[in-house]
Amino acid sequence: MKFTMVLFDYFEDLLEGFEFLIALGSLVGLVGFIIGLIFVIGGSSRLRYKMIGLTVVSLLLLVVCGYSTGIKYFRIFR
C-alpha cells in the first residue's frame, strides 16, 4: 500500500514538471515572437533572415504549448 502512494506521488511530481515545461515553452515562444517581429521590422537584411526563423520557431512553440498557458501558470497579469 505504501509503495502505491510513493508511486502516485512520483507521477504527480512528474506531471507538475511537464506542466512547468509547457508553461515555460509558452513564455519563451511569446517573447521570441515579439523579439522576432521587432527585428524583422527594424533589422538589417542578414539579421532579418535569422529573425524570420526565430519567429517561425516561436510560432511553433506557441502552437504546441498554447498562447496563454504560461501567462496563467505564472500569473503574470494578476
Instruction: Considering only residues 71 and 28, tell me which one the structure prediction assigns the higher pLDDT.
Output: 28
SS3 43: coil
* Angstrom distance (rounded) from CA 30 to CA 27: 5
The grid coordinates of residue 12 equal 504527480
Lowest mean pLDDT among 1-5, 23-27, 38-42, 54-58: 1-5
pLDDT at 78 over 80: no
pLDDT value of residue 74: 87
pLDDT value of residue 1: 64
pLDDT value of residue 14: 93
